[in-house]
Structure 1
């Protein structure tokens, strides 16, 4: 009879209290980690757009060198690059390329241009603010401008 009692006294598995403690710990960790992860994703998508804006700026200057003037490339640059980004997947930004200051009626590019990426309403980036890059390499995120790390947090 003693072997039967020993068999019933040995426990295998976890108690309900132990499982509830583990679930509570996981919940606390998730509550801390998820907002941080969301900020990381937003920063990564902003960085992707910044890189794309630098590529557009390089292409503007490259085409200007090949064609001889900004007015010769103005229309083509605007149709090629003033679109929604990223080109694949969910589009997060609308890009515009304009002279600085504007030259109505057609806003033909000049040596002083500005690229603006505006977050699309209803997307994850909607509250992030406009990104701009001008011909001098000055970067702005909303109203904070400079030539170093203004696009970062």
Structure 2
């Protein structure tokens, strides 16, 4: 018969496993919101890139046709009449208000996107004069 008092058992007890689960849970509760904020901050670049691309296309139209809203301008046709352009990964939709000599582009988060929860920078604007604007609780860091 084997003496149980001298036997060696290897492994983890239930208490030790539960302590590890609690520690991992606490770390996840801290890390996940920080990670999501990082993702939202990095996704803002998508709106800025798309707006700058549209602005460059509108500037080429103004050079060629002397008007931002000329009917031959593809970029103007893409955002005129309430139409929008979606950014590359569909995080933002870009709309514009065009006249012959001015434009204002606005990037707003699309519903269903992670950017809809970005309260720091809820939308971006860019004008023909290069004036950048933003709405939200931390607009100083948006651009």
TM (normalized to structure 1)? 0.71
User: CA shift at 1:70, angstroms?
Assistant: 2.6
Distance of 1:143 and 1:12 partners within structure 2: 56
Q: Structure 2: how far apart are the matches of 1:22 and 1:96?
A: 50
Corresponding position of 2:86: 85
Is the aligned partner of 1:151 residue 2:139?
Answer: no
Q: Is 2:103 aligned against 1:113?
A: yes
Could you say what secondary structure the match of 2:96 adopts? strand
Displacement of 1:32 in angstroms is: 0.2
Unaligned runs of 5+ in 2: none
| Distance in structure 2 (CA, Å) of the matches to 1:71 and 1:136 | 16
Question: Which residue, out of 128, 133, 139, partners 1:135?
Answer: 128
Q: 2:12 aligns with which of 5, 11, 14?
A: 14
Kept after mapping to 2: 8 A contact 1:131/1:142: yes
Listed as ranges, the gaps of 5+ residues in structure 1 are 100-108
| Partner Cα distance (2:44, 2:11) in 1 | 47
Please tell me the root mean square deviation across aligned C-alpha atoms, in Å: 3.0
SS in 2 for 1:137: coil
Q: What whole-Å deviation, never above 9, does each CA across 1:105-148 have from its counterpart, x for those lacking one? A: xxxx333211011223454322442210112222111178x9xx
Quick one: structure 1 residues 23 and 36, their matched pair in 2 at CA, closer, same or farther if it must change by over 3 Å?
same
2:114 to 118, 121, 124: 124
Taking a change above 3 Å as real, the CA distance of residues 23 and 113 of structure 1, as seen in their structure-2 partners, is same
